[in-house]
Each structure stands twice: as structure tokens, then as C-alpha cells.
Amino acid sequence: MAEKKKEGKLSEKAKSRIWLLLSFLAAVALWTFLSVLPQTARSFPNIFVTLGQIPVVIERGILWKDLSSSLISVGAGYALGFVIALPTAILMAWYRPVRNIIEPWIQFIRNIPPLAYVPLIVIAAGVGRRPQIIVITIATFLIMCITMYQGIINIDETLIKAARVLGAKDKDIFLRVLAPASLPFILTAVRLGASVALTTLIAAESTGAFAGLGMRIRSFNNNFETAPMLLYIIIIGVIGITIEKIIKLMERKLTGWQEKREI
Amino acid sequence: MAGEAGNIKVHIDNVKKTYQGKHGEVVALNGVNLDIKDNEFVTVVGPSGCGKSTLLNIIAGLLEPTSGEVICNGHKVEGTGQDRGVVFQQYALFPWLTVQKNVEFGLNMKGIKGEEAESIAMKYIKMVDLEKFRNHYPKELSGGMKQRVAIARAYAANPEVLLMDEPFGALDAQTRTQLQQELLDTWEKEMKTCFFITHDVDEALILGERVVIMSARPGRIKDIVVNDIPYPRNQETKMSPRFLELKNQIWAQVYQEYLEIKK
Ligand SMILES: Nc1ncnc2c1ncn2[C@@H]1O[C@H](COP(=O)(O)OP(=O)(O)OP(=O)(O)O)[C@@H](O)[C@H]1O
Ligand SMILES: [Mg+2]
């Protein structure tokens, strides 16, 4: 009985693998189709031409430079965004005045595309690494702070009561109830933040960066070099999905006790 | 630890509670007086909104009365205390802890850790018949099993007074009957003072030595029915003439309150 169940599960896994493969093949087919269609052929060089650009961009000495530059900006901005978002979210959940003042700001800024405020940041912070990090910090802070805050204020109050009647003091409530109860939301925030960090890359690197995936895409665009441009776009996608997979794995390890998964 | 039989364990003295609601002031309780004897099993019935939960939360120390006071063990109740345990209707188990760790929570708060905590926890997990599930997370349990864990958790912390707010309200009839029986068995084994809220007159009569009937608007004690049916009680007790007589007597009063509210 138990074995049968296991078998069923395995084939379920195999099935999803097959679907993934099919999805991938369909994407390649669509891509190939676009590469022969006259209207789109120029923007979509076929898969061999595109992947053939890998040695070229390595030879030109730009791939590693761009990759490392972007990863540094994204990593630093994202880390900074997290470090600011976590205590802000906790303070917002804890103190009503903090919440009432800050929440409208966040809601307001959140809907503005980062590209719109980039010039202001460049004027204030100059060009180079600094404005890139600032743009990513702002964008990731906004999404992470709001996600964590929503999670923390929705923690079931009876859990806190239950802990209190069992003798928990404030410190225990914080460490043994609020912290584990908010962990799922923190991880969700981390995942959404990573995605925002990457989608903000182009805006961040439009601040006069000297290297970077986003900056390079713009410069390829100016020279009508569609093949390396497409390659870079795919590289960003691969980085994104890899980070997401890693965080999902972490979520499963750390919050497997959860009733249901959201978002 | 427990005082002599007949001693007053909980003394509720002229308790009043008003809430500041959106539509003005709500008087949830007014002039509530009640003495609960050591090791006594008191059940409370009354229409929805009459202030039963409010009273329980005040005894637990989770709410402060607007005026009046509660004396437990000769001390004025100010905040929660480990002499009083609570079982909530919504189970309120910590979803990130296994069954065993949930039951150990109150012990840990008392500074009991490691093997000692484990052996005490296991005693109560056995009591509610969940040995096989000690390492399961709450999400893997049925409603009845979750409530058993909540009861084991409350017992393990070894309070002298056990406050229960419709603990079986969300369960199906069979599970409820079974848990009532288990609760009675445990109460007879480990004498504790029990304050048990229910909507169900049958449940109030199977469990309680006295049944407190509350009236609504403002919530006060309307009548206290002494239930002289001897223990051990079981399902057959529900057929006895005395049971039916008391049931009619209580039901008539509760029904009158429902009508009162409808007006
Ligand atoms: N936090 C609150 N703010 C304002 N009013 C409240 C609050 N909590 C309870 N009340 C009001 O106080 C009254 C008593 O509520 P309580 O929850 O004690 O009733 P109850 O007897 O437990 O009802 P039920 O049987 O439905 O659980 C109700 O009229 C309710 O609307
Ligand atoms: Mg209630």
C-alpha cells in the first residue's frame, strides 16, 4: 500500500519532468518559428546563432565583467533592501504611528516604475556603483517590507494568547512565536525581492554604469546587435529562475510545517 | 498543591467589562459574581454574545475587567499565570512545532527542558492517545486530534485551573462525545478545577457539577443549576430521567434568553 503510494508519487514527479521538457521544447520551437518569420527574424536570431555568441562575448571580455558587475549591484542592493525592510516591517507591525506614517509612502512609491526616479538618484548620488545599488535597494525594500509587514500583522493572535497562558514572556513571544510565525512571510518576501532585484536591473544600470547585464543590453540595442542581446536576456532569466529555485528549496526545508503555500 | 475540597479556588467579584466598540460602548459583562470551588467542574451556557468568552479571558488574565476583580488562589488576577491554563476553540497549536514540542512548550517556559520535559509531555500525549503522532506537525492532524493535543498541552503545564472556551465546538458529534468522555476521565484522575464554556446543554450537563446560565445584554449570571447526577457519567446518563429533567430546566432558561435577544 505504502509502496504503491510512493510509486504514484514518483510517476507524478516524472510526469512533471516530462511536462517541463515539453514546455522547453515548445519554447524552442516558438523561438525557431520567430527566427524564420520575416517580421521577427531580425529580433530573434535562431538558437544556434544566439548560443554561438557565448564564446564571442567571452572573447570580447565583457561577459564576466557584466555578470560580476550586475551580481554585485543586485546582491548589495538586495541585501541592503532586506536589512532595512525587516526591522521596518516589524516596527510597522508593532507601532501604529510608524505604520500610519510609513505605509502610505510605500504604497505610493511602489507603483512608480523605478526607471522614472532614476534621474533623481543620479543627480543626488552621481554615476557609478552607488546609484545602481540605491535603485535596487529601494525597489526590493518596498516589496519586501510590504510583504513581511502584511504577514506579521496577520499572525493569528490566539497563538500569542496561547503562548502567554503557557507562561511565555515578551522575549519568548518574540523568539518562539512571532519569529517562527513570520518566517514563511519573510521567505516569501525574500523570493519576491529577488525577482524585483532582477527586473529592476535595466533601470538600475541606466544610471551610467560602465558594465553590467542591463547596461550591456542597452548598448547592444544601440548597435543593433540582437544575437548577444537575446543571449543576455536569457542569461538574466536563467539567473532569476536559479535564485527562485534555491529560495523555494529553502522554503520547503524551513517552513514545511505550513498548512498551505501561497503566492 | 490543590487546596482542601470545598475551598474557593476562583472568586469572581462584581466583574464588569465594557468594550469601546465602533458603535459606542458595549457592556459585555455587568455585576458578575461567582465562586468556583477547588476541583470543581463548572460549565457555562448562554446565548451567543452574552460574554462567556469575555469572562473566561478575564479569569485567564488575558483581559482586564473594567471594574471588579478575580481572585485565584487568594491572589488577585493580574495578567496570565501558570496556575491557570486555557484550551481555545481554535486549538491554537503552534504549527511549526511537532505534537511533542507543542506539549512541551509550557514546560519549557517553566524552565523544564530535555528529558524531563519529554517524559512529562509523553505522559500526556499517551493520555490523549496520540503516541504515534508525537513527531507529526499540526497540519497532519484531524480537528479532533488537534484538540487532543491542545488539551494535553494545557495539562502538561500543570495548571490548577483549566479554562476551556467551547473546546469541542468545531468537532463532529462522535468525536465530541469521545473527547467529553476522555476529559471526564482525566478530570477524575488529575483533579483540577475546570471552567468549561459550551453552547451545548447536553455537554454542559454531562460534564459539569454546576451549570452556570448566563443572560445577555448586559451579560450576567441568570441562574446556577446544581447537577446532582453522580459520576462516572457516560452516554447512557443522557437517557436518565434526572438528566432530561435538568436539561429541560436549563433549556427553558436558555431559550428564554434567545427570545430576549431576538426582541
Ligand atoms: N474586542 C471587542 N470589542 C468590542 N466588542 C467586543 C469585543 N469582544 C467582544 N465584544 C462584544 O462583547 C460581547 C460579548 O462577547 P463574547 O465574545 O464574550 O461573547 P460569547 O458569549 O463568548 O459569545 P459566543 O458564544 O458567540 O462565543 C458581544 O456583544 C461582543 O460583540
Ligand atoms: Mg465565545
Q: Are residues A123 and A15 in the same domain?
A: no
Cα end-to-end span (Å), chain B: 48
Q: Which residue has the cell 493520555?
A: B127
State how many domains chain B has: 2
Separation of B51 CA from ligand 1 center, angstroms? 5
Whether residue A263 lies inside any domain: the answer is no
Residues B192, B143 within the same domain? no
Model pLDDT, residue B85: 93
Q: Is the domain of B45 the same as that of B115?
A: no
**A182 within a domain of the structure (yes/no):** yes
Residues B105 and B70 in one domain: no
* Domain edge (last residue) among B155, B173, B193: B155
pLDDT at res. A9? 64
pLDDT of residue A137: 95
Using the Cβ of B153 and the Cβ atoms of chain A, whether some distance falls under 8 Å is answered with yes
pLDDT at B107: 94
Same domain for B79 and B144, yes or no, is no
Q: Is A254 an 8 Å CB contact of chain B?
A: no
- The residue whose CB lies within 8 Å of the most ligand 1 atoms, and thus the one to mutate among B54, B63, B260, is B54
Range of the domain at A16: 1-44
The C-alpha of A61 sits at a distance from chain B's nearest C-alpha, in angstroms, of 49
Both A126 and A151 in one domain: the answer is: yes
Domain closes at, from B155, B186, B209: B155
Cross-chain Cβ contact B139/A183 below 8 Å: no
- Is A203 found in the same domain as A174? yes
The per-residue pLDDT for B246 is 93
Q: For residue A193, is it within any domain?
A: yes
Task: From chain B, pick out residues whose CB is under 8 angstroms from the CB of A172.
Answer: 109
pLDDT tens track for A190-235: 999 999 999 998 888 888 888 999 999 999 989 888 999 999 999 9
What is the mean pLDDT, run by run of 10 residues, along chain A of 263 residues? 53 89 94 91 89 91 92 95 95 91 92 88 87 93 94 92 93 92 93 92 84 91 90 93 92 84 50
Same domain, B75 and B95: no
Tell me the residue range of the domain where B16 lies.
2-83+159-262
In-domain check, residue A37: yes
Q: Which of A169, A172, A259 is nearest residue B139 as measured by Cβ atoms?
A: A259
- Do residues A86 and A167 both lie within one domain? yes
Ligand 1 atom at minimal distance to the Cα of residue B50: 21
Residues A18 and A75 in one domain: no
The DSSP annotation for chain A comes to -HHHHHHHHHHHHHHHHHHHHHHHHHHHHHHHHHHHSTTTTTT---HHHHHTHHHHHHHTT-HHHHHHHHHHHHHHHHHHHHHHHHHHHHHHHH-HHHHHHHHHHHHHHHTS-HHHHHHHHHHHH-SSHHHHHHHHHHHHHHHHHHHHHHHHHTS-HHHHHHHHHTT--HHHIIIIIIHHHHHHHHHHHHHHHHHHHHHTHHHHTTTT-SS-HHHHHHHHHHTT-HHHHHHHHHHHHHHHHHHHHHHHHHHHHHSTT-S----
A166/B84 Cβ within 8 A: no
pLDDT at B66: 93
Same domain, A146 and A196: yes
Q: What is the DSSP letter of A45?
A: -
Residues of B in contact with A151 (CB under 8 A): none
Separation between Cα atoms, residue B261 and residue B250, nearest integer Å: 17
Residues of chain B neighbouring A167 (CB-CB closer than 8 A) = 80, 82, 106, 109-110, 157
For residue B35, the domain's CATH number is 3.40.50.300
Q: State whether A27 and A152 are in the same domain.
A: no
Residues B172, B141 share a domain: no
**Residues A32, A62 within the same domain:** no
Q: Are residues B177 and B252 in the same domain?
A: yes
Determine how β-strand B41-45 pairs with β-strand B193-197: parallel
Residue A208's pLDDT is 80
CATH number of the domain bearing residue A158: 1.10.3720.10
Residue A2 lies in a domain: yes
Residues B37 and B127 in one domain: no
Looking at residues B140-154, what average pLDDT do you find?
A: 91
Same domain, A185 and A245: yes
| B65 and B93 within one domain | no
- Please give the distance, rounded to the nearest whole angstrom, from the Cα atom of residue A188 to the centre of ligand 1: 35
**Structural domain includes residue A261:** no
What share of chain A has pLDDT > 70, as a percent? 95
Whether A56 and A164 map to the same domain: the answer is yes
Mark whether B93 and B72 lie in a shared domain.
no
Q: How far apart are CA A127 and CA B89, in angstroms?
A: 59
Q: Is B51 in the pocket of ligand 1 (CB under 6 A)?
A: yes
Residue A201 lies in a domain: yes
Residues A7 and A70 in one domain: no
Residue B158: pLDDT above 80? yes
In the predicted model, is pLDDT for residue B3 greater than 60? no
Q: Is the CB of B105 under 6 A from ligand 1?
A: no
Q: How many domains does chain A have?
A: 2
For ligand 1, atom 11: residue with the closest CA: B28
B26 CB within 6 A, ligand 1: yes
Q: Are residues A146 and A179 in the same domain?
A: yes
Mean of the per-residue pLDDT values of chain A: 89
Query: B51-98, pLDDT tens digit by residue?
Result: 999 999 999 999 999 999 999 988 888 989 889 999 998 889 999 999
Which residue out of A165, A174, A183, A185 would a mutagenesis test of the B interface target, given it has the greatest number of B Cβ atoms within 10 Å? A165
pLDDT of A191 reads: 94
Whole-number mean pLDDT of chain B? 89
Q: Is B52 in the pocket of ligand 1 (CB under 6 A)?
A: yes
| Chain A residues in contact with B93 (beta carbon < 8 A) | 162
Strand positions, DSSP E, chain A: none
In this prediction, residue A2 carries a pLDDT of: 45
pLDDT for position A207: 80
List the residue whose alpha carbon is closest to atom 22 of ligand 1. B53
Q: B249 and B148 in one domain? A: no
Q: Do A159 and B153 touch (CB under 8 A)?
A: no
Among the three residues B99, B134, B155, which one is the final residue of a domain in this structure? Answer: B155
| A262 within domain boundaries | no
Element (H, E) at B163: strand B161-165
Shared domain check, B222 and B115: no
